[in-house]
Amino acid sequence: MPLSEFQLIQHYFQAHAAGRDDVVLGIGDDAALVTPHPDCELVLAIDTLVAGVHFPLDTDAADIGYKLLAVNLSDLAAMGAEPSWMTLALTLPESDPQWLEKFSQGLFELADQYGVAIIGGDTTRGPLTLSLQAHGQLPGGSALQRSGARPGDSVFVTGVLGGAAIALAALQGEFELSPDEMDHCRARLDRPTPRLAVGQALRGIATAAIDISDGLMADLGHIAGQSGVGAEIVADQLPLDVIESASLSAERHRQLALTVGDDYELCFTAPDSAIEKIRAIAFSSDCSITEIGKITASESVRVVDWQGKPIELQLDGYQHFPEQK
Amino acid sequence: MPLSEFQLIQHYFQAHAAGRDDVVLGIGDDAALVTPHPDCELVLAIDTLVAGVHFPLDTDAADIGYKLLAVNLSDLAAMGAEPSWMTLALTLPESDPQWLEKFSQGLFELADQYGVAIIGGDTTRGPLTLSLQAHGQLPGGSALQRSGARPGDSVFVTGVLGGAAIALAALQGEFELSPDEMDHCRARLDRPTPRLAVGQALRGIATAAIDISDGLMADLGHIAGQSGVGAEIVADQLPLDVIESASLSAERHRQLALTVGDDYELCFTAPDSAIEKIRAIAFSSDCSITEIGKITASESVRVVDWQGKPIELQLDGYQHFPEQK
């Protein structure tokens, strides 16, 4: 990019570089310098959003900025980490000041909320591709991993599921939503809430955790696979987003919630002895937490009805967001 | 990307994740976990390469992998840091196992040389765009920054300049090179050597440092700007790559060396009292270091002849690498 790259960075990003005393040197040198907390482990997550693949091409730039950070903070939440700093690799077709202004507005709306400082990045010209790395910290040995689930543990999810998937399906013309419902679901898709407070509170309590980005079945499958266990989810216990569209059947609703990600809620496991603590976490973090099933000694993840009978799920029905015109 | 994303990552990258005992958790969870050295600052650099912008579209995938890491290690070298870990955000048009195999080969050829462990990343589908973040460490307070140059300091560069720029100009048809010279210059362009040993040895000695990615004039300009000083470069002292093409004039050669980057040599400043130490660093790191001029109290960077008379440079002649067919 021409010289204006530096001016743009200066204008839109550098102003947000200050504010943390563990940042020795932010944007503007060959690399950034930070001072990690000496008793902590460093937690690193990097995620890319590609225009037309991860968000519709007409998505508001402020929502893109917000979501780019949110999906990375969601990864930190799933580890139980506290976020500290971010770096940003922006590939842009052109230097569009209006786009950058809105993008940075959305990005810093979320960053400022959690005290995340931008410390570095790179701006290049090319097809719209946005990578962000989030850096967090947590006390050594306290990270929530995917591999700790044990048979008999209960399976929990935060919040409600399905809203983001319903927005995607409606955008693709599968059914109609009322304007209010579309706004609600679109907000779930565009501005997911990283469950940082819950994740941090679960350190020492949850045996495994993951954020739901690929759909509950796939993500719980990752926990099961890495823990060497299985899981049984009770369909009726799933906390579904309340949608009243006449053209969305209850079955399809559940299928979307189970197989499409983008809600960025947490799925975690914990022994029964932790139930009271988990209720307290839900209360103090103002985020519902629902028990949806059990970890089993089998090696499969299945959904059952209230009588324990397996429900067949069509798992191959989902296509990643196709390119928009 | 479909499920094969996981298989590809497993196959090509995860095998290189081990080998450092400061990696608590590498690829395969929501985020990576590392243990920074308690007495060190953390040094973070992220750079993106876009196909057709930063490298010709026909570039060998192994060279792309090599260069992607090299340009980031070069940033760490310019800070005086020792590299530790890397994360990788790959956006690929398709899952091409052959391309990934060669790419990872080139990447790990360099990574293994410096003990850099891959700890995480993200693979998405889209136009070929590659971001890598390199993480290094150095003792607190010892980083080489751009802002420390003082009037009277000497200006130095490592290695020789111009080879990468000459390759670019020849690829764009400006002049012909013999096959041997093209190979030599293309290697300078595709596989730059990050000057890590020199950078680390310069801690406590150099007053300012930067790596030459935008061209010596622009990069020395960054040092001058951030240090609030100027600089005077003696044209005849520039260490130029030896090229014997009849169609490349000496003047154009020097202009390319001064105004086009991609050599990834270091430019640094130091007081005269450090000369003996700098000679020793050049000797022990087996890398030539040349004094090319002086920091001045003015606010401009200029090139002069051996009599001190200013030489006009056409600085606007350079275009970033244009898209190839």
Task: Say whether B12 counts as a known binding-site residue.
Answer: no
Task: Say whether B22 counts as a known binding-site residue.
Answer: no
CB contact under 8 A, B29 and A145: yes
Look up residue B257 and give its amino acid: A
Opening angle at CA A290, ends A264 and A137, nearest 5: 45
Measured distance CA(A29)–CA(B80) in Å, rounded: 12
CATH of domain B154-312: 3.90.650.10
* Cα nearest neighbour of A26 on chain B: B44
User: Once rounded to an integer, what is the mean pLDDT over residues B149-174?
Assistant: 95
Helix/strand/coil (H/E/C) assignment for every residue in A235-249: HHHCCECCCCCCCCC
The yes/no answer on whether domain A154-310 falls in CATH 3.90.650.10 is yes
Give the pLDDT of residue B246.
75
**ipTM of the shown complex:** 0.90
Tell me which long-range contacts A15-18 makes (C-beta under 8 A, separation of at least 24).
A16/A104, A16/A108, A16/A111, A16/A112, A16/A117, A16/A118, A17/A117, A17/A118, A17/A119, A18/A117
Measured distance CA(B189)–CA(B264) in Å, rounded: 9
Share of chain B above pLDDT 90, in %: 72
Look at the block and give the residue holding tokens 């790259």.
A5
Look up residue A275 and give its amino acid: I
Contacts of A31 in chain B (CB under 8 A): 43-45, 75-76, 78-79, 81, 134, 136
Is B29 an interface residue toward A (CB < 8 Å)?
yes
CB count within 10 Å of CB B24 equals 17
For residue B277, give every residue at least 6 positions away whose Cβ sits within 8 Å of its Cβ, in sequence order, or none: B205
Contacts of A218 in chain B (CB under 8 A): none
Please tell me the number of Cα atoms within 13 Å of A200 on its side-chain side.
Answer: 16
Pair A31, B75: CB distance under 8 Å: yes
User: Once rounded to an integer, what is the mean pLDDT over residues B219-240?
Assistant: 96
Opening angle at CA B89, ends B83 and B90, nearest 5: 125
Pair B140, B39: CB distance under 8 Å: yes
CB contact under 8 A, B53 and A126: yes
Measured distance CA(A282)–CA(A197) in Å, rounded: 10
User: Once rounded to an integer, what is the mean pLDDT over residues B29-49?
Assistant: 94
Q: Give which of A161, A187, A175, A158 is closest to A283, Cα–Cα.
A: A158
Please tell me the number of Cα atoms within 13 Å of B53 on its side-chain side.
Answer: 17
* Cα nearest neighbour of B3 on chain A: A218
Is B232 an interface residue toward A (CB < 8 Å)?
no
User: Once rounded to an integer, what is the mean pLDDT over residues B230-256?
Assistant: 90
Average pLDDT, chain B: 90
CB contact under 8 A, A48 and B122: yes
Is B291 an interface residue toward A (CB < 8 Å)?
no
Please tell me the number of Cα atoms within 13 Å of A55 on its side-chain side.
Answer: 27
Q: Where are the domains of chain A?
A: 4-139, 154-310
pLDDT over 70 (residue B115): yes
Give the pLDDT of residue B6.
56
Per DSSP, A316 falls in state: G
Q: Which two tokens stand for residue A151?
A: 């048979």
Measured distance CA(A111)–CA(A89) in Å, rounded: 16
Give the number of beta-carbon pairs within 8 Å between A and B: 187
B6-37 pLDDT per residue, tens = 566 667 777 666 678 999 998 888 999 999 99
Pair A40, A135: CB distance under 8 Å: no
Q: Give which of B227, B178, B160, B201 is closest to B77, Cα–Cα.
A: B201
Which residues of A are part of a known binding site for ATP? 121-122, 146, 213
Give the pLDDT of residue A315.
58
Give the pLDDT of residue A125.
87
For residue B153, give every residue at least 6 positions away whose Cβ sits within 8 Å of its Cβ, in sequence order, or none: B207, B208, B269, B270, B271, B294, B295
Give the pLDDT of residue B247.
83
For residue A252, give every residue at least 6 positions away whose Cβ sits within 8 Å of its Cβ, in sequence order, or none: none
Q: What is the pLDDT along chain A (325 residues), one digit of tens a residue?
A: 443 555 666 677 776 666 789 999 988 889 999 999 999 999 999 999 998 888 888 899 999 999 999 999 999 999 999 999 999 999 988 878 889 899 999 999 999 999 999 999 888 888 899 999 999 999 999 999 999 999 999 999 999 999 999 999 999 999 999 999 999 999 999 999 999 999 999 999 999 999 999 899 999 999 999 999 999 999 999 999 988 877 888 889 999 999 988 899 999 999 999 999 999 999 999 999 999 999 999 989 999 998 989 998 765 434 443 433 3
- Which residues make beta-bridge pairs with A130? A49, A90
For residue B268, give every residue at least 6 positions away whose Cβ sits within 8 Å of its Cβ, in sequence order, or none: B144, B155, B156, B157, B202, B206, B207, B208, B209, B210
Pair B57, B145: CB distance under 8 Å: no
B181-199 pLDDT per residue, tens = 999 999 999 999 999 999 9
Give the pLDDT of residue A7.
64
Task: Say whether B316 counts as a known binding-site residue.
Answer: no
Pair B263, B164: CB distance under 8 Å: yes
Q: Which of B30, B46, B129 sits opposite A120 (nearest CB)?
A: B46
Residue A233 burial (CB < 10 Å; 0-12/13-18/19+)? buried
State which fold the A4-139 domain adopts.
Answer: 60s Ribosomal Protein L30; Chain: A; (3.30.1330)
- Phi first, then psi, for residue B50 (nearest 5°) are -110, 130
Give the pLDDT of residue A316.
45
CB contact under 8 A, B33 and A24: no
Opening angle at CA A237, ends A235 and A242, nearest 5: 95
Helix (H) or strand (E) holding B109: helix B97-114
Q: Which of A46, A53, A81 sits opposite B125 (nearest CB)?
A: A53
Q: Give which of A300, A309, A154, A145 is closest to A230, Cα–Cα.
A: A300
DSSP letters spanning A201-223? HTTTT-SEEEE-SS-HHHHHHHH
